[in-house]
Amino acid sequence: MALTYDDIGRIAHLARLELNPEQSERMLTRLNDFFGIVETMCAVDTQGVEPLPHPYAAIQDVALRLRDDVASEPDAREANQRSAPAVEDGLYLVPRVVE
Which residues are near another protein by CB under 8 A?
3, 7-8, 11-19, 23, 26-27, 30-31, 33-34, 37-38, 40-42, 44, 46, 49-56, 58-59, 64-67, 72, 76, 79-80, 82-86, 92, 94-97
Q: How far is the CB of 88 from another protein (least distance, A)?
A: 14
Element (H, E) at 87: strand 87-88
Q: How far is the CB of 67 from another protein (least distance, A)?
A: 6
Q: What does the radius of gyration of the chain's CA atoms come to, in whole angstroms?
A: 23
Q: What residues contact 54, with CB distance under 8 A and at least 6 apart? A: 62
> Which amino acid is located at 77 in the chain?
R
Q: What residues contact 52, with CB distance under 8 A and at least 6 apart? A: 58
Q: How far is the CB of 32 from another protein (least distance, A)?
A: 11
Q: How far is the CB of 90 from another protein (least distance, A)?
A: 13
